[in-house]
Amino acid sequence: MIVALRSILILLAMCLSFSASIAEEERGETTIVAKWVDANIREVIAQVAEITGKKIEIHSEVRGQFWLESDGALTLDEFYDMFVSALHMYGYEAVQGIDAIHIVPLGERPEGE
pLDDT value, residue 75: 92
Secondary structure in 3-state letters for 16-36:
HCCCEEEEECCCCCEEEEEEE
The domain spans of the chain are 2-105
CATH topology of domain 2-105: Ribosomal Protein S8; Chain: A, domain 1 (3.30.1370)
Q: How far is CA 53 from the centre of its chain?
A: 9
- pLDDT values of the chain reduced to their tens digit, one per residue, 113 residues: 554 445 444 434 433 334 555 555 545 678 899 999 999 999 999 999 999 999 999 999 999 999 999 999 999 999 999 999 999 999 999 999 999 999 999 988 876 66
- For residue 105, the tally of other CB atoms under 10 A from its CB is 13
Closest CA to 22 of 65, 53, 55, 64: 53
What is the model's pLDDT at position 29? 76
State if pTM tops 0.95.
no
